[in-house]
Amino acid sequence: MRLRRLCAAVSLALLVPVPTSANAAQTSCQDVYTPVRFGLIQQTMYGRLCVPRGATTVQVLVPGGTYTSEYWDIPLDSGSRSVRRAMNNGGIATMAVDRIGTGKSSRPLSLLVDVTTQAEAVHHVIASLRRRFEKVLIGGHSIGSAITMTEAGRYRDVDGVLVTGMTHLWDYTRVVPALANSIPATLDPKLGARGLDAGYLTTAPGARYGMFHAPGPNIPAVMDYDESTKDVFSAGEAVTTVVMSNIVLPASATIDAPVMSVQTSADYFCGTPPLGADCSSPEALVNSERPFFGDAPRVDGFVLNGYGHCFNFAPDSAGYHAAVVAWQRGI
């Protein structure tokens, strides 16, 4: 009987938000564990929900490969690199999630983890937030953007779509060498103890600056934080990201909500078409990407310069944050 009560208490704890302190005086944050369908099985997706007082719009934020929800709330430099903080200060609630297989979310066999199953899980998170908020937006980075576009195109349940660190035209001459720095998480000194199967991958020690940050400044504190918080992605996520984001049958074609694409010109998703989208200006980016969002009522763009793939770490990201806040207020 005592064991049964303990199990019931643990199950209840998974469903109930856990209030914690927040940096902004008028913003409350809580940990939320949402039961989600994941293919044919039930999983739990962790999210960090932060709600400024009076917020009626929430943005669900999906991180990319080897990152967790912390990518959206980088604590360095007094939070100036934090998307979460910028959105909350702009009156927009955020729900930054850990993809299934990462962070505090469930960790099934890697064979079950791909873009479509991740999108299904995020769909259930969105449905749970609809009960509370008037508008629900979705945003992603890299693999998280592939998940975001797949979710929005398949379920058509969001009011806006933010795509970062991903275009439909890839410079494979740079993408492939970057992926070559991936290793099975079982071989990683930090992540090997998790007991994950060999289908989960991470970055080789010391590879993250070249893969994710160059040509941005190589700041030891930033690199140490990034290395210490790295996570995993599945081989299936990598393969289906290519499939769902390709120029032949893109998942984005059926998105029926406004879209904003935020890219950095130094990324391997930017370049000289067809090897990368034209990121020479916001207008050029929109012209490159607009054909792949056929049902979207509008597509907007913003381009950063001087930083690599994971530009949430960029020290001068205030303009990017302001542009996203303004876009969300306008839809």
Residue-wise DSSP of 262-321: EEETTSTTBSBTTBSB--SSHHHHHHHHGGG-TT-S-EEEEEE-S--S-GGG-TTTHHHH
The mean of the pLDDT values for the chain is 91
Q: How confident is the model at residue 21 (pLDDT cuts 50, 70, 90)?
A: very low
Q: What is the dihedral of CA 29, 311, 150, 129, to 10 degrees?
A: 10
Q: Is 70 exceeded by the pLDDT of residue 62?
A: yes
Distance between CA atoms of residues 105 and 107, nearest Å: 7
Q: Do residues 200 and 41 lie in contact, with contact meaning Cβ atoms separated by under 8 Å? A: no
Domain boundaries, the chain: 24-169+237-329
Question: Of 95, 96, 88, which Cα lies nearest the Cα of 63?
Answer: 96
**What are the tens digits of pLDDT across the range 144-190?**
999 999 999 999 999 999 999 999 999 999 999 888 999 999 999 98
Nearby residues of 39 by Cβ (< 8 Å), 6 or more positions away:
112, 117, 120
The DSSP symbol for 2 reads H
Whether the ω angle into residue 35 lies within 30 degrees of 0, i.e. cis, is no
User: What's the pLDDT at 305?
Assistant: 96
Neighbours of 109 (CB within 10 A): 13
CATH number of 24-169+237-329: 3.40.50.1820
Q: Is 60 exceeded by the pLDDT of residue 24?
A: no
User: What's the pLDDT at 248?
Assistant: 64
Better pLDDT: 17 or 268: 268
- Coil/strand/helix, residue 48: strand
Total count of residues recorded for the chain: 331
CA quadruple 148, 153, 158, 161: dihedral sign: positive
User: What's the pLDDT at 40?
Assistant: 83
**What are the tens digits of pLDDT across the range 74-130?**
999 999 999 999 999 999 999 999 999 999 999 999 999 999 999 999 999 999 999
Nearby residues of 274 by Cβ (< 8 Å), 6 or more positions away:
169, 247
Strands 135-141 and 161-164: parallel
Nearby residues of 114 by Cβ (< 8 Å), 6 or more positions away:
234, 236, 237, 239, 240
Strand partners, 27: 52
User: What's the pLDDT at 14?
Assistant: 37
The DSSP symbol for 99 reads P
CA quadruple 325, 326, 329, 331: dihedral sign: negative
Residue identified by tokens 């299904």 is 120
Q: Is 70 exceeded by the pLDDT of residue 6?
A: no
Q: Do residues 191 and 169 lie in contact, with contact meaning Cβ atoms separated by under 8 Å? A: no
User: What's the pLDDT at 2?
Assistant: 35
